[in-house]
Amino acid sequence: MQPSTTVREPEPGLRERKKQRTRQALVDAALALHRERGFEGVTIAEIARRADVSPRTFFGYFETKEDVFLGRGDERLEGLVRVIRQRDRREPILVAIRRELLRDREPRADGPAAAAPRRPELLRHPAVQARLREHWNRWEDTLAEAIAADAGVGPGDPEPRVAAAALTGAIRVAAAAAERQPRRRREVAERAFDLLAAGLSRYGSRRL
């Protein structure tokens, strides 16, 4: 058996680093305003003003105000899709995604993220609840499309959709546990993926 190859991601260029700084400035501005005024008191115009950008620039990074507070889910999903595409094709999809999700991502104890509102606090707002549901539905659709493309099947095939729903469910359970007890994130994720492994353990692997 040949060893699997690892594709290294290129270092972000100047343009990408500038985009990352602008995005972070918007997040920091939103968090500062949230601490001062609460969620309802935050407006897109004020977020943009405090970050020293235009409202038009805000919409180049976020679709809604709620998105500023809901984390970097889109970027993490892009990472999962990239893992599916770049993995050794003899490796099951579940194994590749599990490894990516269980990589250590401990939050810093200082900085703006430490003062960010907790998810349960945000979910008291109906608009945030609705937006988060939209995110999960979109992420599941995207994951199903990536799995279908990897498996070489058409959009009507049920297996990629079932696999995506199961994987998304495991991620949601782990994310919810992390909000309640951050130290248990890994434990809960491991248990969720152990349960999935009984049915998805070989899905997506190919003999080359």
For the chain, the domains span: 13-64, 70-208
Are residues 48 and 27 in contact, defined by beta-carbon separation less than 8 angstroms?
no
Residue 51, exposed/middle/buried by CB under 10 A (0-12, 13-18, 19+)? buried
158 or 188: which leads in pLDDT: 158
Q: What is the pLDDT of residue 108?
A: 40
Query: Which is nearest to 88 in space by CA: 168, 171, 150, 142?
Result: 150
Has residue 107 got a pLDDT over 60? Answer: no
Calculate mean pLDDT across residues 149-168: 91
Q: What is the pLDDT of residue 4?
A: 45
Contacts of 136 (CB under 8 A, 6+ apart): 168, 172
Q: What is the pLDDT of residue 118?
A: 64
Coil vs helix vs strand at 187: helix
Which CATH architecture group holds 13-64? Orthogonal Bundle (1.10)
Has residue 127 got a pLDDT over 70? Answer: yes
118 or 129: which leads in pLDDT: 129
- HEC string of 52-72 equals CCCHHHHCCCCCCHHHHHCCC
Question: What share of the chain in percent tops pLDDT 90?
Answer: 49
| 182-198 residue pLDDT tens | 777 788 888 888 888 88
Q: What is the pLDDT of residue 185?
A: 77
Q: What is the pLDDT of residue 12?
A: 65
Q: Which CATH number fits domain 70-208: 1.10.1750.10, 1.10.357.10, 2.60.40.740, 3.90.470.10?
A: 1.10.357.10
Calculate mean pLDDT across residues 38-56: 95
The whole-model pTM stands at 0.74
| Residue 113's pLDDT band (cuts 50, 70, 90) | very low
Query: Which is nearest to 86 in space by CA: 173, 150, 153?
Result: 150
Calculate mean pLDDT across residues 68-97: 90
- Average pLDDT over all residues of the chain: 83
Has residue 115 got a pLDDT over 60? Answer: no
| Residue 80's pLDDT band (cuts 50, 70, 90) | very high
Q: What is the pLDDT of residue 119?
A: 65
